[in-house]
Amino acid sequence: MSHADPTAALDRPAAGFAPGWRIDASYRKLPGDFYTLMPAEKVGPGPVLVHANAEAAALLDLDPAVFGDPDFVAAVTGHLPIAGFQPLAMVYSGHQFGNWAGQLGDGRALLVAQVRNARRELWDVQLKGAGMTPYSRMGDGRAVLRSCIREYLCSEAMAGLGIPTTRALALTATREGVRREQVEPGAVLTRLSPSHIRFGHFEHFHHNGRPEMVALLADHVITEHFPDLLGREGRHEAWFRAVVDRTADLIAGWQAVGFAHGVMNTDNMSILGLTMDYGPFGFLDAFDPGFICNHSDHGGRYAFDRQPAVAHWNLHALAVALSSLIPVPVLKEVLGGYEARFAESFAMRMRGKLGLGAPVEGDGALAADLLAVMARGGGADYTLAFRDLATVEEAGGAERWLAHFAEAEAARWLGRYRARLAVEPDPGRAAAMNRVNPKYVLRNWVAESAIRAVQQEGDFAMLDRILVLLQAPFDEHPGFEDYAAPPPAGMQDLSVSCSS
Ligand code: AMP
Ligand code: MG
């Protein structure tokens, strides 16, 4: 690329953590306008490893034996650079709660490596909470242990559910107090992603009147992440279509498992259609379509049932940012396809959740009516009502399933459902349903229990126990059923805010 930084090869730290990675500083092919090169701050007196994740390590061909190496712990806290890569903070802008927020950027995140693994996949290694950057604005560049535990567990839960997401490699405690509503333990989360580029990256350059940078960035993303489109006539249009489709599929995945993101600002929207920037997210317990997980979201802009429409709004903001690159009528036409794509993607997931095979007239209404019945009378438990649906033909199964509901309507719905199943006998149905209806999601009370165990009891092993469930959420885990249960008394309405 013509703007490639000719000094890139000269200033990479040769010393540092060197696990044999093939470093590929792909983001440095973009001009310096896209980032600030800077070392991490070395937050805290000396980090302690809280947890490291073998599944994520495998993405980097990293042997988990390295977790015991002090250099690994130092590297994933920003105390030791990664050999061959000069860390950088990215600049982006975005719309927050529907308003243009201007410049944001990696205020407490730092890209510390880009690694090309043996399968030739590119992975960003990014530290969250490793100190201030030029984009910190009023913030302190820190992250608190509480929210890092939540992101650590949830990104792995989403991966286990098969929903595209950033991953979590490691979590360290900085042993530094961080001031929020009160002083809390600080932490650094190391996350992995094929890219951390957001809708807001494009908005940044568009709204600063720099269309040539929008074009460079689009071609960078296409080259690195949509190589099939390279050299194609109309590649920008095809790429935008792919982004719309991926985003629609992502949100369909969220709605199907009952995940509310909580802060769907355009700066938290991945250009690759990944779930990213876990904050005050929540999985549904009792089904409430208007569930608001973010207690700072007073207007309910990011309520559970608004997510599909908000994603469309965010794609519109992205389309505006691409208007110098793609003709407006084309952008409109592509955006116009979002709703149908979402509906199709969600309907396909609902068919799977209900165990329906070849489409029969009335299937759509059957699925919609189940959701309506689930929402009534205080709400059936979203996860368990679907999970137990696979057992309604077994002895005692119908009674167990009906116990999730307060309403007699559930029994009428069950009658319709059984009649529908009779049309299409399938001995493999229950097993297939159990592969799409998870037993274990990261319920808020489970996350809170993990936080209490780590912070109050120093019980880091609790994270292991929970990760085993979340990384295989469709399996039965005998002895661990308690973690699949709705919130116990006193843990129903735990407050989660943006303050993290
Ligand atoms: P978030 O709500 O975490 O997605 O963050 C929104 C913006 O605020 C991003 O630009 C973050 O980098 C920045 N930010 C959030 N928390 C902090 C912090 N503690 N210090 C510096 N910047 C922050
Ligand atoms: Mg963010």
What are the Cα distances from residue 89, in Å, to 34, 45, 216? 9, 23, 18
Does this model's pTM top 0.95? yes
Listed residue (79, 84, 71, 72) closest to 10, CA to CA? 84
Q: What is the mean pLDDT of each run of 10 residues along the chain (500 residues)?
A: 51 84 97 98 97 98 98 98 97 98 98 98 98 97 98 98 98 97 97 98 98 98 97 95 99 98 98 98 97 94 98 98 98 98 98 97 98 95 98 96 94 98 97 98 97 96 96 98 94 72
What are the Cα distances from residue 315, in Å, to 94, 271, 332? 12, 10, 11
What are the Cα distances from residue 109, in Å, to 40, 134, 221? 9, 11, 20
Among 106, 124, 249, 267, the active-site one is 267
Relative to the alpha carbon of 500, which ligand is closest?
1
For residue 2, what pLDDT is reported? Answer: 43
Relative to the alpha carbon of 132, which ligand is closest?
1
Relative to the alpha carbon of 143, which ligand is closest?
1
- Cα of 104 vs centre of ligand 1, distance in Å, is 8
- Cα of 500 vs centre of ligand 1, distance in Å, is 9
- Cα of 37 vs centre of ligand 2, distance in Å, is 20
For residue 1, what pLDDT is reported? Answer: 42
Alpha carbon nearest to ligand 1 atom 2, residue: 498
Q: What are phi and psi of 378, to 5 degrees?
A: 90, -15
The domains of the chain are located at 26-196, 200-347, 356-425
For residue 308, what pLDDT is reported? Answer: 98
Alpha carbon nearest to ligand 1 atom 1, residue: 277
Give residue ranges with CB within 6 A of ligand 1: 104-108, 135-136, 139-142, 263, 268, 277, 279, 498
Q: Locate the ligand 1 atom nearest the alpha carbon of residue 106 and give its number.
A: 12
* Distance separating alpha carbons of residues 197 and 202, to the nearest angstrom: 9
Amino acid at 291: F
- Cα of 108 vs centre of ligand 1, distance in Å, is 6
- Cα of 295 vs centre of ligand 2, distance in Å, is 17
User: In which residue are the tokens 């159990």 written?
Assistant: 434
Amino acid at 48: V
For residue 10, what pLDDT is reported? Answer: 53
Structure tokens at 126: 């990014």
Which are the contacts of 439, defined by CB distance < 8 A and separation ≥ 6?
383, 387, 473, 474, 475, 476, 477, 484
Q: Locate the ligand 1 atom nearest the alpha carbon of residue 133 and give its number.
A: 21
Q: For the CA atoms of 429, 435, 437, 439, what is the dihedral angle to 10 degrees?
A: 120
Active site residue 267: yes
For residue 9, what pLDDT is reported? Answer: 52
Alpha carbon nearest to ligand 1 atom 13, residue: 107
For residue 497, what pLDDT is reported? Answer: 67
